[in-house]
């Protein structure tokens, strides 16, 4: 498809040239429309960002201002976590990051988790608050692709989906009060209009 007429028409309506961010956004929206999607890929909103940061915290700050990895509170070992809840290859006992490294990895992780949630729910009708709650859930559990919560959401059974959050409160076979609080906050955000 020749996109130039679309860009020319929108530019004329605005009465000004585009910023690069606007060009990228319009280009992505056209690509999504061509692919038969219901709009551009979703991204995490501020309520979701705030919820994740509130529960993840940027823990284990050392006196020198850097952050060290810590073991999973449920298992006492793997997965090791650092910064804003980052886990994965290269993170273990002895891993130390600067605050800038913690923040950069958080932004990278958010994009990945938002993309994975977007892929999992497809074109199911989803409010921004529902999406944010699902990203927080996935950021913590990694289970968006297999959770009954996702299946119910895709079927539009939102009240039932909201109740599913409360089933994900264990780590290492133990119920954790922090997970109970997080799942309640996610469910409340999911149900918020």
Catalytic residues: 56
Q: Are 44 and 131 in contact (CB under 8 A)?
A: yes
The answer to whether residues 129 and 51 touch, using CB atoms and an 8 Å cutoff, is no
What six digits make up the tokens of 146? 């297999």
Nearest Cα residue to 118 out of 187, 191, 45: 45
Classify residue 170 as left (phi > 0), alpha (psi -120 to 50) or beta.
Answer: beta
**Angle subtended at Cα 154 by Cα 148 and Cα 159, rounded to the nearest 5 degrees:** 70
| Cβ pair 27, 10 in contact under 8 A | no
- Tell me if 80 sits within 8 A of 72, measured CB to CB: yes
Determine contact, residues 192/165, Cβ cutoff 8 Å: no
Separation between Cα atoms, residue 32 and residue 108, nearest integer Å: 22
Phi, psi for residue 12 in degrees, rounded to 5: -65, -40
């Amino acid at each position: 498809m020749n996109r130039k007429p679309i860009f020319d028409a929108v530019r004329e309506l605005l009465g000004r040239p585009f910023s690069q961010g606007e060009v990228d956004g319009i280009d992505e929206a056209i690509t999504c429309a061509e692919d038969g999607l219901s709009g551009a890929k979703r991204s995490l909103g501020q309520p979701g960002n705030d919820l994740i940061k509130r529960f993840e915290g940027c823990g284990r700050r050392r006196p020198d201002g850097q952050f060290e990895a810590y073991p999973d509170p449920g298992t006492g070992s793997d997965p090791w976590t650092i910064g804003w809840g980052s886990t994965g290859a290269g993170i273990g006992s002895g891993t130390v990051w600067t605050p800038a490294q913690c923040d950069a990895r958080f932004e990278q992780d958010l994009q990945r988790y938002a993309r994975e949630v977007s892929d999992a729910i497809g074109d199911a009708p989803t409010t921004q608050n529902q999406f944010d709650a699902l990203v927080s859930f996935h950021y913590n559990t990694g289970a968006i692709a297999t959770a009954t919560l996702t299946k119910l959401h895709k079927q539009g059974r939102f009240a039932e989906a909201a109740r599913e959050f409360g089933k994900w409160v264990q780590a290492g076979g133990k119920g954790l009060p922090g997970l109970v609080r997080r799942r309640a906050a996610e469910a409340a955000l999911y149900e918020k209009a």
